Protein backbone atom coordinates (compact mmCIF):
# COMPACT_ATOMS: atom_id res chain seq x y z
CA UNK A 1 0.00 0.00 0.00
CA UNK A 2 1.42 3.41 -0.93
CA UNK A 3 2.31 6.12 1.54
CA UNK A 4 -0.51 8.26 0.19
CA UNK A 5 -3.13 5.69 1.18
CA UNK A 6 -1.52 4.76 4.47
CA UNK A 7 -0.84 8.19 5.85
CA UNK A 8 -4.41 9.09 6.78
CA UNK A 9 -5.06 5.60 8.16
CA UNK A 10 -7.61 4.86 5.44
CA UNK A 11 -8.31 1.29 4.49
CA UNK A 12 -7.32 -1.93 6.22
CA UNK A 13 -3.83 -1.00 7.40
CA UNK A 14 -4.29 0.51 10.85
CA UNK A 15 -0.95 -0.41 12.33
CA UNK A 16 -0.21 -3.28 14.70
CA UNK A 17 -3.52 -3.94 16.39
CA UNK A 18 -4.34 -0.31 17.01
CA UNK A 19 -8.04 0.60 17.21
CA UNK A 20 -7.65 4.33 17.18
CA UNK A 21 -11.14 5.75 16.63
CA UNK A 22 -12.99 4.48 19.75
CA UNK A 23 -10.27 5.70 22.09
CA UNK A 24 -10.07 9.03 20.26
CA UNK A 25 -13.81 9.55 20.80
CA UNK A 26 -13.30 8.93 24.49
CA UNK A 27 -10.56 11.56 24.56
CA UNK A 28 -12.62 14.07 22.58
CA UNK A 29 -15.61 13.65 24.92
CA UNK A 30 -13.80 15.96 27.33
CA UNK A 31 -14.90 19.18 25.69
CA UNK A 32 -12.42 22.04 25.66
CA UNK A 33 -9.76 20.21 27.70
CA UNK A 34 -7.20 22.57 26.12
CA UNK A 35 -9.08 25.73 27.05
CA UNK A 36 -6.57 28.35 28.07
CA UNK A 37 -3.67 26.33 26.68
CA UNK A 38 -1.35 27.38 23.87
CA UNK A 39 0.25 24.62 21.84
CA UNK A 40 3.29 25.52 19.76
CA UNK A 41 3.75 23.71 16.45
CA UNK A 42 7.26 23.59 14.98
CA UNK A 43 7.12 22.25 11.45
CA UNK A 44 9.01 22.62 8.20
CA UNK A 45 9.76 20.57 5.13
CA UNK A 46 12.57 18.10 5.80
CA UNK A 47 15.46 17.58 3.39
CA UNK A 48 14.70 13.85 3.06
CA UNK A 49 10.91 14.12 2.79
CA UNK A 50 10.76 12.77 -0.77
CA UNK A 51 13.13 9.94 0.04
CA UNK A 52 10.66 8.77 2.69
CA UNK A 53 7.85 8.63 0.10
CA UNK A 54 6.11 11.81 1.20
CA UNK A 55 5.54 15.25 -0.26
CA UNK A 56 4.79 18.68 1.12
CA UNK A 57 1.07 17.87 0.84
CA UNK A 58 1.45 15.14 3.47
CA UNK A 59 3.18 17.56 5.80
CA UNK A 60 0.40 20.09 5.33
CA UNK A 61 -2.21 17.41 5.99
CA UNK A 62 -0.55 16.64 9.30
CA UNK A 63 -0.41 20.33 10.22
CA UNK A 64 -4.09 20.84 9.38
CA UNK A 65 -5.30 17.83 11.36
CA UNK A 66 -3.22 18.58 14.43
CA UNK A 67 -4.22 22.26 14.44
CA UNK A 68 -7.88 21.41 13.84
CA UNK A 69 -8.09 19.19 16.91
CA UNK A 70 -6.23 21.67 19.10
CA UNK A 71 -8.73 24.34 18.09
CA UNK A 72 -11.68 21.97 18.54
CA UNK A 73 -10.62 21.33 22.13
CA UNK A 74 -10.51 25.04 22.92
CA UNK A 75 -6.75 25.42 22.57
CA UNK A 76 -4.67 27.99 20.79
CA UNK A 77 -1.96 27.41 18.19
CA UNK A 78 1.39 29.22 18.12
CA UNK A 79 3.77 29.13 15.18
CA UNK A 80 6.97 30.98 14.42
CA UNK A 81 7.66 31.41 10.73
CA UNK A 82 7.98 33.77 7.84
CA UNK A 83 5.25 35.01 5.52
CA UNK A 84 6.28 33.21 2.33
CA UNK A 85 3.47 32.47 -0.10
CA UNK A 86 2.17 28.94 0.26
CA UNK A 87 3.97 28.43 3.58
CA UNK A 88 2.65 26.98 6.82
CA UNK A 89 1.59 30.37 8.16
CA UNK A 90 -0.71 30.92 5.20
CA UNK A 91 -2.00 27.37 5.63
CA UNK A 92 -3.21 28.31 9.10
CA UNK A 93 -4.89 31.42 7.71
CA UNK A 94 -6.91 29.22 5.37
CA UNK A 95 -7.82 26.83 8.18
CA UNK A 96 -9.00 29.62 10.47
CA UNK A 97 -11.13 31.10 7.71
CA UNK A 98 -13.22 27.93 7.50
CA UNK A 99 -12.99 26.39 10.95
CA UNK A 100 -14.85 27.70 13.99
CA UNK A 101 -13.57 26.75 17.42
CA UNK A 102 -14.57 27.71 20.97
CA UNK A 103 -17.10 30.51 20.54
CA UNK A 104 -15.97 32.07 23.80
CA UNK A 105 -12.66 32.85 22.16
CA UNK A 106 -12.36 35.78 19.80
CA UNK A 107 -11.15 34.52 16.40
CA UNK A 108 -7.82 36.33 16.69
CA UNK A 109 -7.14 34.50 19.98
CA UNK A 110 -6.94 31.12 18.24
CA UNK A 111 -3.72 31.52 16.28
CA UNK A 112 -0.55 33.40 17.22
CA UNK A 113 2.00 34.04 14.49
CA UNK A 114 5.45 35.02 15.80
CA UNK A 115 7.66 37.00 13.47
CA UNK A 116 11.29 37.86 14.13
CA UNK A 117 12.92 41.01 12.81
CA UNK A 118 13.77 41.55 9.97
CA UNK A 119 11.28 38.96 8.61
CA UNK A 120 8.48 40.89 10.31
CA UNK A 121 9.07 43.69 7.81
CA UNK A 122 7.61 41.40 5.13
CA UNK A 123 4.21 41.59 6.85
CA UNK A 124 2.66 44.57 5.14
CA UNK A 125 0.05 46.70 6.91
CA UNK A 126 -2.57 45.80 4.31
CA UNK A 127 -2.06 42.07 4.91
CA UNK A 128 -2.10 42.48 8.67
CA UNK A 129 -5.33 44.49 8.50
CA UNK A 130 -6.89 41.81 6.28
CA UNK A 131 -6.07 39.04 8.76
CA UNK A 132 -6.30 40.80 12.12
CA UNK A 133 -9.72 39.29 12.94
CA UNK A 134 -8.31 35.76 12.69
CA UNK A 135 -4.66 36.09 13.67
CA UNK A 136 -2.67 37.72 16.45
CA UNK A 137 0.69 38.72 15.04
CA UNK A 138 3.57 38.91 17.50
CA UNK A 139 6.34 41.04 16.07
CA UNK A 140 9.46 40.37 18.12
CA UNK A 141 11.94 43.25 18.22
CA UNK A 142 15.70 42.66 17.89
CA UNK A 143 17.70 42.18 21.10
CA UNK A 144 18.54 45.57 22.58
CA UNK A 145 22.28 44.95 22.65
CA UNK A 146 22.38 44.72 18.83
CA UNK A 147 21.52 48.43 18.67
CA UNK A 148 19.79 48.28 15.30
CA UNK A 149 19.59 51.87 14.06
CA UNK A 150 16.72 51.54 11.58
CA UNK A 151 14.34 48.60 12.17
CA UNK A 152 12.25 49.60 9.16
CA UNK A 153 15.08 48.70 6.78
CA UNK A 154 15.38 45.05 5.76
CA UNK A 155 18.73 43.48 6.62
CA UNK A 156 19.99 41.00 4.05
CA UNK A 157 21.69 37.85 5.44
CA UNK A 158 24.67 38.37 3.16
CA UNK A 159 27.62 38.55 5.58
CA UNK A 160 28.84 36.89 8.76
CA UNK A 161 27.84 39.93 10.80
CA UNK A 162 24.35 40.06 9.29
CA UNK A 163 23.88 36.31 9.74
CA UNK A 164 24.88 36.75 13.38
CA UNK A 165 22.23 39.45 13.78
CA UNK A 166 19.63 37.19 12.14
CA UNK A 167 20.54 34.35 14.47
CA UNK A 168 20.14 36.51 17.57
CA UNK A 169 16.79 37.85 16.37
CA UNK A 170 15.44 34.39 15.56
CA UNK A 171 16.55 33.08 18.95
CA UNK A 172 14.77 35.93 20.73
CA UNK A 173 11.57 35.21 18.80
CA UNK A 174 11.75 31.49 19.59
CA UNK A 175 12.39 32.12 23.27
CA UNK A 176 9.46 34.53 23.56
CA UNK A 177 7.16 32.10 21.76
CA UNK A 178 8.13 29.23 24.04
CA UNK A 179 7.34 31.29 27.14
CA UNK A 180 3.77 31.58 25.85
CA UNK A 181 3.41 27.85 25.07
CA UNK A 182 2.11 25.11 27.37
CA UNK A 183 3.30 22.27 25.11
CA UNK A 184 5.22 21.82 21.85
CA UNK A 185 4.81 19.58 18.79
CA UNK A 186 7.71 18.97 16.37
CA UNK A 187 7.51 17.68 12.80
CA UNK A 188 10.17 17.54 10.05
CA UNK A 189 12.73 20.30 9.90
CA UNK A 190 15.42 21.32 7.39
CA UNK A 191 19.11 21.05 8.15
CA UNK A 192 20.04 23.22 5.14
CA UNK A 193 19.38 26.79 4.14
CA UNK A 194 18.48 28.07 7.62
CA UNK A 195 19.47 31.51 8.88
CA UNK A 196 19.51 31.01 12.66
CA UNK A 197 22.16 29.80 15.09
CA UNK A 198 21.06 26.26 14.18
CA UNK A 199 18.16 24.69 12.25
CA UNK A 200 14.92 26.30 13.41
CA UNK A 201 13.09 23.15 14.49
CA UNK A 202 16.16 22.03 16.44
CA UNK A 203 16.57 25.36 18.23
CA UNK A 204 12.90 25.43 19.19
CA UNK A 205 13.17 21.86 20.49
CA UNK A 206 16.23 22.67 22.60
CA UNK A 207 14.52 25.74 24.06
CA UNK A 208 11.37 23.75 24.88
CA UNK A 209 13.34 20.98 26.59
CA UNK A 210 15.35 23.45 28.64
CA UNK A 211 12.07 25.02 29.77
CA UNK A 212 10.63 21.59 30.68
CA UNK A 213 7.72 21.83 28.22
CA UNK A 214 5.74 18.72 27.29
CA UNK A 215 7.24 17.80 23.91
CA UNK A 216 5.78 15.55 21.18
CA UNK A 217 8.11 14.32 18.44
CA UNK A 218 6.55 13.12 15.16
CA UNK A 219 9.22 11.18 13.32
CA UNK A 220 7.49 9.87 10.18
CA UNK A 221 8.43 12.90 8.09
CA UNK A 222 12.14 12.70 8.81
CA UNK A 223 14.26 15.81 9.08
CA UNK A 224 15.65 17.30 12.26
CA UNK A 225 12.83 15.80 14.32
CA UNK A 226 13.80 12.27 13.27
CA UNK A 227 17.47 13.01 13.96
CA UNK A 228 16.49 14.26 17.42
CA UNK A 229 14.52 11.05 18.01
CA UNK A 230 17.60 9.04 17.05
CA UNK A 231 19.67 11.14 19.46
CA UNK A 232 17.33 10.13 22.30
CA UNK A 233 18.43 6.56 21.64
CA UNK A 234 22.11 7.48 21.45
CA UNK A 235 22.48 7.54 17.64
CA UNK A 236 24.34 10.64 16.43
CA UNK A 237 23.55 11.78 12.89
CA UNK A 238 25.57 14.27 10.86
CA UNK A 239 23.14 17.04 11.78
CA UNK A 240 24.15 16.58 15.42
CA UNK A 241 27.87 16.95 14.84
CA UNK A 242 29.86 20.11 14.26
CA UNK A 243 31.55 18.46 11.29
CA UNK A 244 28.18 17.95 9.60
CA UNK A 245 28.04 21.63 8.66
CA UNK A 246 31.67 22.08 7.58
CA UNK A 247 30.78 22.49 3.89
CA UNK A 248 28.57 25.54 4.56
CA UNK A 249 31.29 28.17 4.54
CA UNK A 250 29.13 31.23 5.31
CA UNK A 251 27.47 29.44 8.20
CA UNK A 252 30.79 28.22 9.61
CA UNK A 253 32.11 31.79 9.50
CA UNK A 254 29.03 32.93 11.40
CA UNK A 255 29.59 30.19 14.01
CA UNK A 256 33.14 31.45 14.61
CA UNK A 257 31.82 34.98 15.07
CA UNK A 258 28.96 33.82 17.30
CA UNK A 259 31.14 31.64 19.51
CA UNK A 260 33.72 34.40 19.94
CA UNK A 261 30.95 36.58 21.40
CA UNK A 262 29.19 33.90 23.45
CA UNK A 263 31.93 31.95 25.17
CA UNK A 264 29.56 30.55 27.81
CA UNK A 265 26.89 29.38 25.35
CA UNK A 266 28.55 28.56 22.02
CA UNK A 267 26.95 26.80 19.06
CA UNK A 268 27.98 23.19 19.68
CA UNK A 269 26.11 20.35 17.96
CA UNK A 270 27.98 17.71 19.93
CA UNK A 271 26.63 19.31 23.10
CA UNK A 272 23.10 19.33 21.66
CA UNK A 273 23.43 15.60 20.97
CA UNK A 274 24.71 14.98 24.49
CA UNK A 275 21.72 16.83 25.93
CA UNK A 276 19.21 14.71 24.01
CA UNK A 277 21.00 11.43 24.61
CA UNK A 278 20.80 12.10 28.36
CA UNK A 279 17.08 12.92 28.23
CA UNK A 280 16.15 9.70 26.41
CA UNK A 281 12.52 8.67 25.82
CA UNK A 282 12.16 8.37 29.58
CA UNK A 283 12.65 12.12 29.93
CA UNK A 284 10.02 12.87 27.29
CA UNK A 285 7.55 10.53 28.99
CA UNK A 286 8.03 12.17 32.38
CA UNK A 287 6.81 15.48 30.96
CA UNK A 288 4.36 14.79 28.12
CA UNK A 289 1.73 12.39 29.47
CA UNK A 290 2.66 9.46 27.23
CA UNK A 291 4.51 6.30 28.18
CA UNK A 292 7.92 5.56 26.73
CA UNK A 293 6.35 3.03 24.38
CA UNK A 294 3.74 5.55 23.23
CA UNK A 295 6.44 8.13 22.56
CA UNK A 296 8.33 5.56 20.53
CA UNK A 297 5.17 4.80 18.57
CA UNK A 298 4.63 8.52 17.88
CA UNK A 299 8.21 8.58 16.63
CA UNK A 300 7.52 6.04 13.86
CA UNK A 301 3.81 5.92 12.97
CA UNK A 302 2.94 7.23 9.47
CA UNK A 303 -0.80 7.46 10.24
CA UNK A 304 -2.10 10.98 10.79
CA UNK A 305 -5.05 9.70 12.81
CA UNK A 306 -2.73 7.85 15.18
CA UNK A 307 -0.39 10.84 15.41
CA UNK A 308 -3.32 13.03 16.42
CA UNK A 309 -4.61 10.40 18.86
CA UNK A 310 -1.28 10.03 20.64
CA UNK A 311 -0.73 13.79 20.89
CA UNK A 312 -4.24 14.30 22.28
CA UNK A 313 -3.80 11.43 24.72
CA UNK A 314 -0.60 12.99 26.02
CA UNK A 315 -2.13 16.44 26.28
CA UNK A 316 -5.18 15.02 28.06
CA UNK A 317 -3.06 13.14 30.61
CA UNK A 318 -0.81 16.15 31.07
CA UNK A 319 -3.48 18.80 31.55
CA UNK A 320 -6.39 16.95 33.19
CA UNK A 321 -4.48 15.04 35.89
pLDDT tens readout for residues 130-160: 878 778 899 999 999 999 999 999 999 999 9
pLDDT on residue 38: 96
pLDDT on residue 81: 73
Alpha-carbon distance 190 to 81, whole Å? 13
Measure the CA angle with vertex 287, ends 282 and 289; round to 5°: 95
pLDDT on residue 4: 42
Alpha-carbon distance 14 to 185, whole Å? 23
**CA torsion through residues 205, 154, 164, 245, sign:** positive
157 secondary structure, DSSP code? -
% of the chain residues with pLDDT over 70: 83
* Integer CA distances (angstroms), 209 to 57, 58, 219, 288, in order: 29, 27, 17, 11
Which residues of the chain fall short of a pLDDT of 70? 1-31, 82-87, 89, 93-107, 321
Where does residue 112 rank: exposed (0-12), middle (13-18), buried (19+ CB within 10 A)?
buried
**Could you tell me which of 218, 221, 223 has the C-alpha nearest to residue 55?**
221
114 secondary structure, DSSP code? E
pLDDT on residue 11: 37
pLDDT on residue 105: 66
Amino acid sequence: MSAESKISNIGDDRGPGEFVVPEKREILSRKFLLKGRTIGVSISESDNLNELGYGIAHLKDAMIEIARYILALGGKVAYGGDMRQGGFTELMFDLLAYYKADKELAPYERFYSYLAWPLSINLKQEKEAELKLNVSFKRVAPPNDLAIVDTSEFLKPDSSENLYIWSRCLTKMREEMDVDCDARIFIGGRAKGFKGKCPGVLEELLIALRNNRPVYLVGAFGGITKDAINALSGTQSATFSNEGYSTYIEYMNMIKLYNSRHLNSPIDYNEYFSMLSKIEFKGLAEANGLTELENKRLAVTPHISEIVYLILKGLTNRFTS
